[in-house]
């Protein structure tokens, strides 16, 4: 039988899915064991048990100086920045996407500009953001907004343009004004795409968040990682990395479920 026609059974599929995780874990353990055997105080690849201990400490024990459990505070502030940034970008993406997709005048005015603007590397203008908005929350949120909004606008406006022209004509023959077409024909069909595009841009959003936090902050997941880097605290860094990954995964999963539930008509497209 051809390879392309050979499919794993259910148990095998599950095992195969777990396999890469096991492989990475095993490789890490072997590397760590080897280094610790040579030098028991090696900090580069701490033993897995050390990481688990550290994780437990980070999640449950308050900081000696401030009396707060820092990891939770870091998480809360980072998620807040992320939510604000992606939320604003999503709203902007929707508004501009609808305008560009539906209105020829807006399209002529904006689509070229957005294409050029999306080529600006966001991290390169981070210093400008710090200068303009200061080192507070605004500049971090703005970096996320500027980083992902051009992509959202381009993606969503294209989705509006992809709506079959027949539907737009049909709506007009039912007496719909431009506003009604935007509100009742384009917007609802855009929502699943919005969630999809936000899912795709969450990766970059995390990147911009951590970058901004690493450079100028006193709280946040990215700040913490770059802070403890100075002490080579690999156990802390790894705990944070795994925690961030988990957060990102859960957010992605939740968005996917939301789209499935909220837009039953969109079928398997998600």
Partner 1 sequence: MSFVTIDNIFQSYGPRPILERVSTSVDEGEFISIVGASGCGKSTFLRLLLAEEQPTRGEIRIDGNPPAREPGIERGVVFQRYSVFPHMTVMDNVLAAESFGTRFGFLPRKARKGARDRAMATLDRIGLAHAADLYPTALSGGMQQRLAIGQALTATPRILLLDEPFGALDPGTRLQMHDFLMELREETGMTVFMVTHDLDEGFKLGDRVLVFDKPRWDPTDPDIIGATITYDFDARNGGIPFQTIKEETHVLHPA
Q: Which stretches of the chain bind partner 1, using CB under 8 A?
A: 164, 166-167, 169-177, 179-180, 183-185, 188-189, 263-267
Q: Which is nearer to partner 1, 189 or 258 (CB)?
A: 189
Report in angstroms how near the CB of residue 260 gets to partner 1 at its nearest.
14
Sign of the dihedral through C-alpha 176, 182, 186, 192 = negative
Give the residue with the Cβ less far from partner 1, 44 or 169: 169
In this structure, the chain runs to a length of 270
CB of 159 to partner 1, least distance (A): 13
The least distance separating partner 1 from the CB of residue 183, rounded to whole angstroms, comes to: 5
Asked if 155 and 193 touch (Cβ cutoff 8 Å), the reply is: yes
* Shortest CB 24 distance to partner 1, Å: 41
Report how far residue 227's alpha carbon sits from residue 211's, in angstroms, rounded to the nearest whole number.
13
* Nearest residue to 47 via CA among 238, 242, 225, 222: 238
> Phi/psi class of residue 232: alpha, beta or left (left: φ > 0; alpha: ψ in -120 to 50)?
left
Distance CA 197, CA 212 (A): 22
Which is nearer to partner 1, 185 or 237 (by Cβ)? 185
For partner 1, the closer CB: 13 or 169: 169
């Amino acid at each position: 039988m051809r390879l392309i026609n050979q499919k794993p059974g259910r148990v095998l599929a599950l095992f195969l899915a777990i396999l890469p995780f096991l492989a990475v874990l095993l490789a890490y353990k072997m590397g760590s064991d080897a280094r610790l055997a040579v030098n028991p105080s090696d900090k580069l690849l701490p033993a897995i048990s050390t990481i688990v201990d550290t994780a437990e400490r980070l999640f449950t024990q308050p900081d000696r100086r401030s009396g707060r459990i820092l990891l939770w505070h870091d998480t809360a502030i980072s998620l807040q920045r992320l939510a604000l940034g992606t939320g604003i970008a999503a709203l902007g993406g929707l508004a501009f996407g609808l305008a560009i997709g539906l209105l020829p005048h807006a399209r002529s005015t904006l689509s070229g500009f957005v294409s050029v603007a999306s080529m600006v590397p966001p991290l390169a203008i981070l210093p400008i953001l710090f200068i303009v908005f200061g080192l507070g929350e605004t500049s971090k949120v703005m970096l996320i907004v500027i980083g992902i909004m051009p992509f959202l606008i381009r993606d969503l406006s294209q989705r509006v343009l992809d709506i079959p022209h027949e539907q737009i004509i049909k709506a007009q023959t039912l007496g719909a004004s431009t506003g009604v077409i935007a509100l009742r024909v384009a917007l609802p069909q855009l929502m699943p795409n919005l969630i999809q595009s936000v899912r795709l841009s969450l990766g970059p959003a995390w990147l911009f968040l951590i970058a901004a936090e690493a450079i100028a902050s006193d709280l946040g997941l990215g700040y913490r990682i770059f802070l403890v880097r100075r002490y080579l605290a690999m156990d802390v860094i790894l705990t944070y990395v795994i925690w961030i990954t988990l957060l990102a995964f859960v957010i992605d999963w939740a968005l996917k479920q939301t789209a499935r539930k909220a837009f039953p008509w969109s079928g398997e497209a998600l």
